[in-house]
Chain A
Amino acid sequence: MKCEICRDLLEEYLDAELRAEEAEEISAHLITCVQCAASYAALTAEQEMFVRYDREIEVPSGLWDSITTEITPATSVTETPAKSTLFDHLAGLFRFPSLSFASAAAVLLLALMIGAFYLLRHNANTQSPKLSVAVDNNERRDVKSPSAKDDSPAPQQVPIRTPIKAPTVQKNLVVANRKQNRTAEIDHFDVLSSDLGYQDLEDQDTAKHIEQTQNLLRSIRNVTVSDSDDEIDVTYDKALSRRLLNENIVLRRDAEMKAKFPTKTLLSDLEPILIDIANLPDQAKPEDVRVIKERVQKTEIVAELLGAGDYR
């Protein structure tokens, strides 16, 4: 392939809009031609720069309410209220409460009584509170809360696992155990939705990216795939994966430049999986989804994301 032809097609190649044969030719040419490869690298760098474009806009929380107001059919009540006279007003003050008002008042009173009863019960319970704390041997034990400590005999010492806030020395001692029991931790501590593990990344963008990727991979990992399924709609996941992939490339390079090698390694591990999801057809075959699911499970990438804090 001539360089002129290659360069004419580079943008379409970057956009993944070429036919398979053309794309293969370009790929082969880029391996051998330094100039064209440099042009492609420049295009890629440009693309990455645009991916970082942040408009700094947020969808206002009240926007949906405004839309609801417009799309909700207007009530067709057009009757005009009868004009009330001063006499009607005064008469109303002495009128016997209507049934609807009386029933509303009764409900309100009942609600107040239930609320007061609940508060009393709640206060009684909080005088001797107990915390259910997960411990290293994956059991749950009840321990007295610190506030109750003064008024009660010294509680039995329980090895409480504090993965994030533990002092450095203690932390080093538990690292081995923690890694050993990682799979069990995921099940028992329900930390899939926790963002504590990202504290050491010091990079909100990376932390947010990892959280979103974790959510995506978790959804893939947990999907139930059966052979009886004709196809699985992954349109949204695919689009999300494409976006995350672009972000991932940028963040990985950032991490590499700033010598954040653990973060870089983590992001490098994510990329092949994101590429796989991004390349799924909109209506994916169950076996394709299953392959990705198994890959997510085998690599324990979700656990790796959760354990990002261990890289500190």
Chain B
Amino acid sequence: MKRLAVEELNLEGQPGSFAGTLMNSSADLVTRACQGDQEAFRLIFERYSRPVMSFTFDMVNDRGLAEELTQETFVRAFRNLRSMREETKLSTWLFGIAKNVARESIRARVRTRNQVDLDDEAVLDLSDTAPEPVDRLLGKELNQHIRRALASLDEDRRMVFTLKVFHQCSYEEIATITGFSLAKLKTDLHRARAEMRRRIRPYAGVGYEV
């Protein structure tokens, strides 16, 4: 099998990252990492750390915790690389580990606090109903609304929505990551979209009548 082999790219704006990108296929990197090549695993980290951290952040809504969970995800990944099946996509496998790590963390926190915490705004304040022009909300404000709406979703729906909408995973990949049936994930995704729409609509001013 041949791979695209060209220049270094600096993707995702990661500090000091050498993406390694097209020089190494994921399969090659995994093989090399399994043989103890830490540099190969570093390339895997640089390639996937941002998506994994975004995913864990979406799940737990806490920056510091998302960093810890990303670290834990990659540590577990390194220790279990040999158990990864050849036909599994690396990204799907990593998201699967991240999902488990995030879920464990959420459950631990639920046991202690009985709710998912918000990072720096502890309350889902959706009482500000005055609609604003969409242009004004395209920055931080809209991000805040999306983040709050996301945090309010049921855990399963949040996971499915995040994987589909933000990470463009296919239904098949989402089913592999989450272990959900196709029917469940479709239902969860539909309901998550409807819920997000309902919560964002007053702020985004987009006339959703889907």
Q: Identify the A interface with B (CB < 8 A).
A: 7, 10-12, 15, 17, 38-39, 42-43, 45-47, 49-50, 52-61, 63-64, 66-68, 70-72, 208, 212, 215-216, 218-220, 222-224, 229-237, 239-240, 242-243, 246, 257, 282-283, 286, 289
Query: Does B16 reach chain A (CB closer than 8 Å)?
Result: yes
Q: Are B15 and A58 in contact (CB under 8 A)?
A: yes
User: What CA separation (Å) do A63 and B56 show in the bound complex?
Assistant: 15
Stretch in B46-54, B97-105, B121-129 touching the partner: B46-54
Q: Are B27 and A219 in contact (CB under 8 A)?
A: no
**Chain A residues, CB < 8 A from B75:** 67, 70-71
Interface residues of B in 155-174 (CB under 8 A from A): 164-166, 168, 170-171
**Chain B residues, CB < 8 A from A58:** 13-15
**Chain A residues, CB < 8 A from B58:** 55
- List 25 A–B pairs whose Cβ atoms lie within 8 Å, in order of A's numbering: A7-B210, A12-B186, A38-B209, A39-B210, A42-B206, A46-B193, A49-B204, A53-B142, A53-B146, A53-B147, A55-B143, A58-B14, A59-B50, A59-B53, A63-B67, A70-B75, A222-B7, A224-B5, A230-B2, A231-B2, A233-B27, A235-B26, A239-B168, A240-B11, A282-B89
Query: Does B79 reach chain A (CB closer than 8 Å)?
Result: yes
**Chain A residues, CB < 8 A from B47:** 236
User: What CA separation (Å) do A224 and B22 show in the bound complex?
Assistant: 12
User: What CA separation (Å) do A56 and B189 show in the bound complex?
Assistant: 24
Q: Identify the B interface with A (CB < 8 A).
A: 1-7, 9-11, 13-16, 21-22, 25-27, 38, 41-42, 45-47, 49-50, 53-54, 57-58, 63, 66-67, 70-71, 74-75, 78-79, 89, 91, 135, 138, 140, 142-143, 146-147, 164-166, 168, 170-171, 186, 189-190, 193, 196-197, 200, 204, 206-210
Given contacts A66-B71, A236-B21, A242-B168, contact A215 B11 (CB under 8 A): yes
Shortest CB-to-CB span from A45 to chain B, Å, is 5
Q: Are B6 and A233 in contact (CB under 8 A)?
A: no
Q: Which of B21, B89, B140, B146 contacts A50 (CB 8 A)?
A: B146
Given contacts A223-B6, A233-B2, A239-B91, contact A57 B63 (CB under 8 A): yes
**Chain B residues, CB < 8 A from A64:** 42, 45-46, 49
**Chain A residues, CB < 8 A from B15:** 58-59, 61
Shortest CB-to-CB span from A293 to chain B, Å, is 10
**Chain B residues, CB < 8 A from A10:** 210
**Chain B residues, CB < 8 A from A212:** 9, 11
Q: A219-B9, A233-B4, A239-B168 are in contact. List 4 more A-B contacts (CB 8 A).
A: A46-B208, A57-B66, A66-B71, A231-B1
Q: Name, among B22, B57, B79, B208, the residue most crowded by chain A CB atoms within 10 Å (CB to CB).
A: B22
**Chain A residues, CB < 8 A from B57:** 55, 57
